[in-house]
């Protein structure tokens, strides 16, 4: 997975969620869509908002704020969905805003600070110091693996 | 290189699949040259390609097998069972190696020395056996073939010659559209036959058939090229010249001797390539993708139709109509690409049956029909294992050994028939054998010994029902575990697998004549007919296959949802249907809908029927099933998701999951009425009628004691001698209140009346309100102090007084003074002194009897009368209880001389020394026959007799002890 050559650069789609900036590897991003109708899935874990229909494919919507333990989005606030693929299935990450695709050298990626909460460190691969802000690199695979306890809590 | 190997693996897999069947058929019809040719070619191709790819293990094994097959083909080797077995074994090794290559990319390690030695030995037998058996052929042909360097050399030479000629400017163009492999094989076969002197002119004939427009000169060049190649490969030049004389010189012998044996190979190479070229290999992913796109197209079409429905005059109407048609056809077309003949699932069966037959020493014939029936490849994969398992069962348990069959007047060879056909959107697969059938009695016995049912249930069960038990988990009728089957994981797995894909399996069997299974499975899993329902504004799809019926519970025809202790039930015809609410189960919150007009979807999973309460039922719809996202896969209530015509995503409910959820948390005693074990339940619980009377507190009476529930009006109550009575069914029935006093009506309202019945006597107990019927403990736990109260129990979280009906009988003077007084006193009613309540322990009674009568009737009856009852089903168990130190106040046992246990009983009681002072009451055939000479059968019912006798026997004991 992480056998990336030091000289390589990686593309990250920057997303903003509740004042934080995350980078999603551009290769796993399929699409960015405006809010659409989401049908709820009863009994689903709280992070799962529901499912939506993206051109005939069923996409499971995940609320990043809930997944990261952040306060819920204010009702009526604008948001976007970043569609990512994991082993053939599509997931929609609900974010506040989507920024540019940043091409950054892999060598410049720094490890996540030890002081970050374990929950966050578990789903991030590292971070970049950008101008005026920090961007955490999201590990999509781990992000979409909900802990069993979380599922039970549902 | 990788691609080449992948192609080879794919091709080899297909080839091997076909090989198994062909070899088994070949064993039965060894004289079919076309079939043998096919087999030979398959093995040969594998050998050739593996040699080219440097897969040495594969090559050696294939080569050894090819030698033997060559022997078959040339009639120098007799087709024996042993030889075919060896070849099948070789095919297994080839399969193993191929699979190894597919996974690891390299040949797996392994030693095939034994197998090769076996094949070589068979091949060597050819030389020794062939020599004496066919003298005219061998002396001349063998040297000729040897002089030419053997078959392999000839083959190589043909290949070289063809390779050279394809590049030739003059002859090359003729090769366009010719199956080179076929040609090579034809030429080689022709030469070899000629060398063996079995046929003439095969080489020239093949050449002429492949290249009809080849000039004489060009034909000569082909001969020349082959000759050169042979000589280059160190064949004897003289032999080469003889065998490959120019056609001009050999024409006459060819005409003189029509090449009969050479004729059969001719049509094959020509006709087969044509069909082979009709198909192409497409990866499954491409098809899946195509299917997804088509599903999407269908959705768009549905949306368009919906949009335009309101505008019939629209200019789009015409094109849309066309689009509609084209889409439907496209969908159908794509669906068919996923369809495969069911023979794919059967391919391994002939081999399996053959191996089973030799393992089991039986002779088995497998007859298949309808193998061309097509079904979705996904379904195909899923039924493979169940089918294999069933065939195994049939061969092992179903069919008898030949001697047994002959004795039963059947043919020595058992027959397993397998057929498939389309029937109304489903595939019906039938598997039947003509074996011994399913012995219902043995199944019963087995089920009882496995503890699946009680002996009482076994007796009551019909043969057909008993046979259904083979589908229960952990059931196997095999008397012994064989290597083939009998391990107890069997038909339940088959049924589960079939139900998993929405299929059903039915079974019928006639003892001595065989067993027949009918499996009905859907054509495809990706499109399912479902019922769309709504609960709290959310829509869900329910697969039609599991739905039995729809019931509207709107109160008409007496259909309304009733509640027992918080769980809902519906009276549907003659049964009580457990209900679950979709709203509760899915935790949906919505506007509280009146339950009165809810719809109930009645579903069936296995033999469990239950109802699901939904708010609304829409249409049925053919939906495209999509898998549930991994992140949601732990939710067992969903089997998939789908997109509806309006673009919304809805979940497909899984009836199996619903039933599990229903049974686990929403249904108290929710097991199907048919499946509840009456005996087991009777032992620990009883049905209680919960009511209110005299006070706010809940009271309960054993339902068994209540004959009827009536309503009583004030005016019908009459007074006789200070007692309240009513006229009831032509007699006067005393009526009392729960506190034992004559009835008092505060108002004119009708009040419920419990009619207690004992023998010919009735007693009315006036109550305020009937609350519920619940399951309650059989044995009272705590002695009550109030009038008529036997114990306090907890019913649905409320303390409830369990009333002692005997007290009321006593009160109205109908309780037989002697016999009922004892238990009542022991119970500690208000009349009994408090001290004796604490001091006198409940009488312990041991019943020793093996009949269901005891377990079903006597035990509960005595327990109800307030005794602690222990039932021992045979004398040995009774003795075990004795040895454990159990002490009883009374022993009831079947001591009649006619009892099968009479002797054992006497011995057991002889040994039970500490029981020698315990009074013994003899139980005759369901009648009481006391050993002490007490016999009083004058009363109305047997139950009373027993109770009377018991209490009378215990009465002096009580006095002595108290």
- Is B648–A55 a contact, with Cβ atoms under 8 angstroms apart? no
| % of chain A residues with pLDDT over 70 | 90
Query: How much is the pLDDT for A92?
Result: 94
Query: How much is the pLDDT for A90?
Result: 92
Q: Name chain B contacts of A88, Cβ cutoff 8 Å.
A: none
Query: How much is the pLDDT for B363?
Result: 87
Of 3.40.50.720, 3.40.50.150, 3.30.565.10, 3.90.550.10, which CATH number belongs to B340-477+489-522? 3.30.565.10
- Is A42–B588 a contact, with Cβ atoms under 8 angstroms apart? yes
Beta-carbon neighbour count of residue B671 at 10 Å?
13
Residue B254's pLDDT band (cuts 50, 70, 90): very low
B330 vs B313: CA distance, rounded Å:
27
Would you say residue B160 has pLDDT above 50?
A: yes
- In angstroms, what separates the C-alpha of B648 from chain A's closest C-alpha? 7
Query: How much is the pLDDT for A61?
Result: 94
Query: How much is the pLDDT for B675?
Result: 35
Residue B715's pLDDT band (cuts 50, 70, 90): confident
Q: Name chain B contacts of A64, Cβ cutoff 8 Å.
A: none
Residue A21's pLDDT band (cuts 50, 70, 90): very high
DSSP B619: E
First to last CA, chain A: 31
B690 vs B705: CA distance, rounded Å:
13
- Is B643–A56 a contact, with Cβ atoms under 8 angstroms apart? yes
Q: Name chain B contacts of A56, Cβ cutoff 8 Å.
A: 292-293, 295-296, 299-300, 643
Would you say residue A80 has pLDDT above 70?
A: yes
- In angstroms, what separates the C-alpha of A123 from chain B's closest C-alpha? 16
Query: How much is the pLDDT for B820?
Result: 36
Question: Please, which residues have CB within 8 angstroms of residue B761's CB and are 6 or more apart in sequence?
Answer: B809, B814
- Backbone phi, then psi, for B883, in 5-degree steps? -65, -25
Question: Please, which residues have CB within 8 angstroms of residue B771's CB and are 6 or more apart in sequence?
Answer: B690, B691, B692, B698
Most confident of the following: A35-44, B223-232, B418-427: A35-44
């007490």: which residue's tokens?
Answer: B934
Q: Taking residues A43-50, what's their average pLDDT? A: 90
Average pLDDT of chain B?
A: 73
| % of chain B residues with pLDDT over 70 | 75
By CA distance, what is B582's nearest residue in A?
A: A42
Contact (CB, 8 A) for B354 and B402: no
Would you say residue B15 has pLDDT above 90?
A: no
Contact (CB, 8 A) for B590 and B607: no
Burial profile B247-262: b = 16 or more Cβ within 10 angstroms, e = fewer: beebeeebeeeebeeb
Contact (CB, 8 A) for B506 and B498: no
Query: How much is the pLDDT for B597?
Result: 66
Going by C-alpha positions, the residue among B120, B115, B71, B125 that lies closest to residue B94 is B115
Domain at B144-244: CATH architecture: Orthogonal Bundle (1.10)
Q: Name chain A contacts of B651, Cβ cutoff 8 Å.
A: 41-42
- In angstroms, what separates the C-alpha of B525 from chain A's closest C-alpha? 17
Contact (CB, 8 A) for A61 and A48: yes
Chain B contact probe: residue of A41, A86, A92 with most B CBs at under 10 A: A41
Would you say residue B674 has pLDDT above 50?
A: no
Query: How much is the pLDDT for B866?
Result: 67
By CA distance, what is A86's nearest residue in B?
A: B630
Which tokens go with A8?
Answer: 């390589």
| Residues making up chain B, counted from first to last | 962
- Is B293–A56 a contact, with Cβ atoms under 8 angstroms apart? yes
Query: How much is the pLDDT for A95?
Result: 92
Would you say residue A14 has pLDDT above 90?
A: yes
Would you say residue B944 has pLDDT above 70?
A: no
By CA distance, what is B588's nearest residue in A?
A: A42
Q: What pLDDT, in 10s, does the model give residues B836-869?
A: 333 345 677 777 776 655 655 666 667 666 677 7
Query: How much is the pLDDT for B474?
Result: 65
Contact (CB, 8 A) for B863 and B778: yes
- Is A55–B649 a contact, with Cβ atoms under 8 angstroms apart? no
Whether A55 and chain B come into contact, CB under 8 Å, resolves to: yes
Query: How much is the pLDDT for B13?
Result: 81
| % of chain B residues with pLDDT over 90 | 2
| Out of A99-108, B377-386, B488-497, B947-956, least confident range | B947-956
Question: What class, spelled out in words, does domain B3-127 have in CATH?
Answer: mainly alpha
Whether A40 and chain B come into contact, CB under 8 Å, resolves to: yes
| Out of A82-96, B352-366, B579-593, least confident range | B579-593
Residue A135's pLDDT band (cuts 50, 70, 90): very high
Would you say residue A24 has pLDDT above 90?
A: yes
Of A39, A42, A48, the CB nearest to B649: A39
Of B292, B588, B641, the CB nearest to A51: B641
- In angstroms, what separates the C-alpha of B610 from chain A's closest C-alpha? 21
- Is A45–B631 a contact, with Cβ atoms under 8 angstroms apart? yes
């080879």: which residue's tokens?
Answer: B8
Query: How much is the pLDDT for B939?
Result: 34
| Out of B141-155, B832-846, B902-916, least confident range | B832-846
Q: Taking residues B697-706, what's their average pLDDT? A: 77
Contact (CB, 8 A) for B332 and B294: no
Would you say residue B143 has pLDDT above 80?
A: no
Q: Taking residues B394-398, what's their average pLDDT? A: 83
- Backbone phi, then psi, for B656, in 5-degree steps? -60, -45
Do the domains at B544-664 and B685-812 have one common CATH topology? yes
Show me where the domains of chain B are located: 3-127, 144-244, 340-477+489-522, 544-664, 685-812, 844-954
Would you say residue B591 has pLDDT above 50?
A: yes
What is the greatest pairwise CA distance in chain B? 137
Q: Report the C-alpha dihedral over residues B237, B239, B243, B248, rounded to 10 degrees.
A: 60
For chains A and B, what is the number of CB pairs under 8 angstroms?
Answer: 67
- In angstroms, what separates the C-alpha of A144 from chain B's closest C-alpha? 7
Of B296, B637, B641, the CB nearest to A56: B296
Average pLDDT of chain A?
A: 85
Of A40, A43, A146, the CB nearest to B635: A43
Q: Name chain A contacts of B581, Cβ cutoff 8 Å.
A: none
Of B296, B626, B648, the CB nearest to A39: B648
Contact (CB, 8 A) for B128 and B134: no
- Is A40–B538 a contact, with Cβ atoms under 8 angstroms apart? yes
Burial profile B695-704: b = 16 or more Cβ within 10 angstroms, e = fewer: eeebbbbbee
Q: Taking residues B298-317, what's their average pLDDT? A: 79
The topology (CATH level 3) of A9-144 is: OB fold (Dihydrolipoamide Acetyltransferase, E2P) (2.40.50)
| Out of A85-94, A108-117, B682-691, least confident range | B682-691
By CA distance, what is B539's nearest residue in A?
A: A39
B634: helix, strand or coil: coil
Q: What pLDDT, in 10s, does the model give residues B190-237?
A: 777 777 666 666 777 777 777 777 777 777 777 777 877 777 777 777
Question: What class, spelled out in words, does domain B685-812 have in CATH?
Answer: mainly beta
The ipTM value here is 0.86
More reliable by pLDDT, B721 or A61:
A61
Q: Taking residues B15-22, what's their average pLDDT? A: 78
Query: How much is the pLDDT for A101?
Result: 92
B442: helix, strand or coil: helix
Would you say residue A84 has pLDDT above 90?
A: yes
Q: Name chain B contacts of A86, Cβ cutoff 8 Å.
A: 630
Chain A contact probe: residue of B584, B636, B651 with most A CBs at under 10 A: B651
Q: What pLDDT, in 10s, does the model give residues B756-768?
A: 877 667 888 888 8
Q: Name chain A contacts of B293, Cβ cutoff 8 Å.
A: 56
Residue numbers of A between 83 and 122 with CB closer than 8 Å to B: 86-87, 89, 91
By CA distance, what is A151's nearest residue in B?
A: B634
Beta-carbon neighbour count of residue B937 at 10 Å?
12
Residue B49's pLDDT band (cuts 50, 70, 90): confident
The topology (CATH level 3) of B544-664 is: OB fold (Dihydrolipoamide Acetyltransferase, E2P) (2.40.50)
B469 vs B445: CA distance, rounded Å:
11
Query: How much is the pLDDT for B671?
Result: 35
- In angstroms, what separates the C-alpha of A71 from chain B's closest C-alpha? 22
Query: How much is the pLDDT for B679?
Result: 33
Which tokens go with B206?
Answer: 């093949």
- Is B631–A60 a contact, with Cβ atoms under 8 angstroms apart? yes
Which CATH code is given to the segment(s) B844-954? 3.40.50.2300
B702 vs B157: CA distance, rounded Å:
97
Contact (CB, 8 A) for B947 and B930: no
- Is A43–B293 a contact, with Cβ atoms under 8 angstroms apart? no
Contact (CB, 8 A) for B570 and B551: yes
Query: How much is the pLDDT for A51?
Result: 93
B639: helix, strand or coil: strand
């Amino acid at each position: 997975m992480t056998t990336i050559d030091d000289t390589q650069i990686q593309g990250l789609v920057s997303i903003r969620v509740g004042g934080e900036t995350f980078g999603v590897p551009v290769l796993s991003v399929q699409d960015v869509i405006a809010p659409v109708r989401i049908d709820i899935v009863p009994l689903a874990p709280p992070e799962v908002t529901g499912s939506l229909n993206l051109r005939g494919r069923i996409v499971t919507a995940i609320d990043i704020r809930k997944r990261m333990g952040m306060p819920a989005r204010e009702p009526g606030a604008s948001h976007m969905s970043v569609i990512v693929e994991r082993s053939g299935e599509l997931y929609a990450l609900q974010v506040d805003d989507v920024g540019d695709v940043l091409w950054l050298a892999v060598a410049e990626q720094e490890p996540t600070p030890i002081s970050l909460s374990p929950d966050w460190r578990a789903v991030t691969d590292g971070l970049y110091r950008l101008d005026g802000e920090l961007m955490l690199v999201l590990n999509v695979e781990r992000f979409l693996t909900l802990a069993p306890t979380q599922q039970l809590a549902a | 290189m990788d691609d080449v190997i992948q192609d080879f693996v794919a091709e080899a897999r297909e080839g091997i699949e076909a090989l198994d069947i062909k070899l088994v058929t070949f064993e039965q019809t060894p004289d079919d040259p076309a079939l043998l040719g096919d087999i030979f070619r398959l093995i040969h191709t594998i050998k050739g390609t593996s040699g080219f790819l440097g897969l040495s293990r594969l090559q050696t094994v294939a080569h050894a097998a090819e030698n033997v097959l060559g022997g078959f083909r040339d009639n120098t080797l007799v087709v024996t069972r042993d030889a075919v077995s060896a070849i099948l074994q070789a095919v297994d090794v080839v399969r193993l190696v191929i699979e190894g290559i597919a996974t690891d990319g390299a040949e797996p390690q392994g030693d095939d020395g034994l197998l090769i030695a076996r094949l070589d030995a068979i091949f060597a037998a050819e030389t020794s056996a062939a020599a004496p058996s066919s003298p005219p052929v061998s002396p001349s042909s063998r040297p000729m073939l040897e002089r030419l360097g053997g078959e392999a050399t000839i083959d190589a030479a043909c290949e070289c010659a063809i390779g050279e000629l394809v590049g030739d400017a003059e002859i090359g163009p003729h090769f366009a559209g010719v199956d080179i492999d076929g040609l090579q094989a034809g030429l080689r076969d022709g030469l070899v036959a000629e060398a063996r002197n079995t046929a003439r002119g095969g080489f020239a004939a093949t050449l002429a058939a492949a290249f009809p427009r080849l000039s004489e000169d060009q034909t000569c060049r082909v001969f020349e090229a082959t000759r050169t190649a042979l000589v280059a490969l160190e064949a004897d030049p003289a032999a080469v010249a003889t065998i490959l004389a120019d056609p001009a010189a050999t024409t006459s012998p060819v005409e003189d001797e029509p090449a009969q044996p050479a004729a059969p190979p001719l049509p094959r190479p020509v006709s087969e390539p044509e069909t082979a070229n009709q198909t192409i290999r497409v990866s499954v992913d491409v098809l899946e993708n195509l299917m997804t796109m088509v599903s999407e197209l269908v959705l768009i079409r549905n949306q368009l139709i919906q949009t335009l429905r309101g505008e019939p005059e629209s200019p789009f109407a015409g094109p849309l109509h066309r689009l509609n048609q084209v889409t439907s056809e496209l969908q159908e077309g794509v669906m068919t690409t996923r369809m495969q003949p069911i023979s794919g699932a059967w391919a391994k069966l002939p081999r399996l049956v053959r191996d089973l037959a030799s393992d089991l020493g039986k002779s088995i014939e497998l007859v298949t029909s309808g193998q061309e029936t097509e079904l979705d490849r996904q379904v195909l994969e899923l039924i493979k294992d169940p089918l294999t398992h069933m065939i195994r069962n049939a061969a092992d348990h179903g069919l008898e050994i030949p001697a047994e069959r002959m004795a039963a007047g059947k043919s020595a060879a058992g027959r397993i028939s397998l057929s498939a056909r389309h029937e109304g959107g489903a595939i019906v697969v039938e598997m039947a054998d003509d074996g011994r059938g399913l012995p219902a009695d043995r199944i019963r016995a087995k089920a009882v010994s496995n503890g699946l049912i009680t002996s009482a249930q076994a007796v009551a069960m019909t043969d057909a029902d008993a046979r259904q038990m083979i589908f229960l988990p952990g059931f196997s009728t095999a008397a012994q575990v064989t290597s083939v089957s009998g391990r107890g994981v069997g038909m339940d797995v088959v049924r589960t697998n079939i139900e998993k894909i929405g299929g059903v399996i039915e079974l019928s069997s006639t003892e001595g004549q065989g067993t027949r299974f009918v499996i009905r499975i859907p054509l495809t899993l990706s499109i399912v007919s479902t019922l769309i329902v709504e609960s709290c504004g959310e829509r869900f799809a329910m697969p039609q296959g599991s739905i039995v019926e729809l019931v509207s519970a709107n109160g008409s025809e007496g259909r309304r949802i009733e509640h027992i202790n918080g769980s809902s039930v519906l009276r549907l015809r003659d049964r009580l249907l457990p209900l679950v609410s979709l709203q509760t189960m899915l935790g949906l919150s919505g506007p509280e809908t009146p339950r009165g007009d809810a719809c109930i979807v009645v579903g069936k999973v296995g033999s469990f029927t239950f109802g699901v309460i939904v708010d609304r039922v829409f249409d049925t719809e053919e939906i495209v099933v999509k898998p549930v996202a991994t992140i949601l896969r732990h939710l067992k209530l969903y089997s998939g998701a789908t997109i509806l015509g309006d673009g919304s995503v809805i979940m497909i409910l899984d009836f199996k999951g619903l039933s599990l959820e229903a049974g686990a948390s929403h249904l108290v005693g929710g097991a199907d009425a048919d499946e509840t074990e009456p005996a087991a339940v009777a032992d620990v619980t009883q049905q209680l009628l919960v009511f209110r009377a005299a006070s706010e507190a809940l009271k309960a009476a054993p339902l068994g004691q209540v004959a009827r529930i009536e309503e009583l009006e004030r005016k019908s109550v009459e007074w006789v001698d200070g007692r309240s009575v009513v006229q009831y069914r032509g007699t006067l029935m005393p009526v009392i209140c729960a506190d034992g006093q004559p009835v008092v009506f505060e108002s004119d309202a009708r009040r419920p009346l419990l009619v207690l019945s004992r023998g010919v006597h009735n007693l009315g107990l006036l109550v305020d309100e009937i609350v519920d019927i619940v399951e309650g403990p059989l044995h009272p736990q705590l002695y009550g102090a109030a009038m008529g109260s036997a114990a306090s129990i907890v019913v649905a979280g409320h303390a409830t007084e369990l009333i002692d009906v005997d007290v009321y009988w006593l009160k109205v003077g109908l309780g037989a003074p002697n016999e009922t007084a004892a238990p009542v006193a022991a119970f500690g009613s208000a009349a009994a002194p408090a001290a004796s309540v604490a001091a006198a322990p409940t009488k312990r009674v041991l019943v020793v009897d093996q009949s269901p009568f005891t377990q079903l009737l006597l035990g509960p009856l005595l327990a109800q009368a307030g005794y602690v009852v222990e039932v021992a089903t045979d004398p040995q168990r009774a003795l075990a209880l004795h040895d454990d130190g159990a002490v009883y106040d009374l022993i009831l046992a079947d001591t009649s001389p006619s009892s099968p246990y009479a002797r054992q009983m006497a011995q057991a009681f002889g040994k039970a020394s500490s029981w020698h002072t315990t009074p013994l009451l003899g139980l005759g055939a369901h009648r009481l026959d006391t050993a002490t000479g007490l016999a009083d059968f004058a009363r109305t019912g047997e139950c009373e007799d027993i109770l009377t006798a018991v209490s009378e026997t215990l009465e002096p004991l009580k006095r002595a002890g108290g």
